[in-house]
């Protein structure tokens, strides 16, 4: 019987590769973590700092540096970070050279409520506490509490996602019956918006009005711009 040495060579090569892979993985898992790096997503203001993140890990008995990679529970580290009031999402991984890297998405406020309690509303429509590290430049909201967040959120979200409105709307005020008034930056007039409905139509009407009035240099002649009717803009002069 003729022996096929090619099969034997292939088998030995495969066995060697499996051994080397297992050896490398074991060696990698037994490597100690020597450094922790915290990375925040680009272009975000720091509502939570790297120092605060490290302190949070210590407070929750998450020891990172000096421990063996295979003994570190990465899922628990992520869970601890995601539970922070200022963190929307966190991902954790360990590099081959023993660095524990954490990538953090911070929560993003889109409005600041002033009332019996002061807090932010974030971009997901949830209540968010103030940060000791940074104060967000977002519209000020009055006349609401935690129970009205769901009602006002579509209005705040629309403003947040529109560059023109972000630049011009500085205040959102809830009035009787769930009607809203808006403040406009550097303008003497207010906007009577009405209820949180027909947002596209109302804001498109406002943009058209603003562009025309600005061109005609009439913006400072109004004290109220009424958008509640949806299909028209009713202006009250001073």
Residue 37, burial from CB neighbour count under 10 angstroms (0-12, 13-18, 19+): exposed
Reduced to 3 states (helix: H, G, I; strand: E, B; else coil), residue 185 is coil
pLDDT at 27: 43
CA–CA distance, 113 with 171 (Å, rounded to integer): 10
Single pTM value for the model: 0.79
Instruction: Please report the domains of the chain, with CATH numbers, ordered by start residue.
Output: 35-106 (3.10.20.310), 109-237 (3.40.50.11690)
Query: Which helix (DSSP H) or strand (DSSP E) does residue 182 occupy?
Result: strand 180-184
CA–CA distance, 131 with 180 (Å, rounded to integer): 27
- pLDDT tens-digit map of 148-188: 999 999 999 999 999 999 999 999 999 999 999 999 998 98
């Amino acid at each position: 019987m003729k022996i096929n040495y090619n099969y034997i060579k292939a088998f030995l090569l495969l066995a060697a590769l499996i051994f080397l892979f297992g050896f490398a993985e074991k060696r990698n898992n037994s490597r100690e973590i020597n450094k922790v790096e915290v990375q925040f997503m680009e272009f975000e203001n720091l509502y939570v700092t790297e120092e605060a993140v490290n302190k949070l890990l210590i407070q929750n008995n998450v020891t990172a540096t000096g421990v063996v990679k295979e003994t570190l529970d990465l899922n628990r580290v992520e869970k601890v970070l995601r539970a922070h009031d200022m963190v929307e999402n966190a991902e954790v991984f360990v590099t081959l050279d023993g660095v524990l890297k954490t990538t953090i998405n911070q929560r993003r406020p889109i409005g600041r409520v002033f009332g019996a309690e002061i807090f932010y509303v974030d971009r997901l429509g949830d209540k968010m506490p103030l940060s000791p590290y940074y104060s967000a430049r977002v519209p000020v909201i009055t006349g609401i509490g935690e129970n009205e967040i769901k009602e006002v959120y579509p209005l705040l979200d629309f403003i947040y996602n529109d560059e023109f409105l972000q630049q011009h709307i500085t205040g959102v005020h809830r009035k009787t019956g769930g009607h809203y008034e808006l403040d406009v930056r550097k303008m003497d007039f207010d906007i009577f918006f009405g209820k949180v409905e027909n947002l596209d139509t109302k804001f498109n009407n406002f943009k058209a009005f603003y562009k025309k009035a600005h061109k005609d240099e009439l913006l400072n002649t109004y004290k109220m711009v009424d958008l509640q009717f949806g299909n028209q803009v009713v202006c009250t002069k001073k």
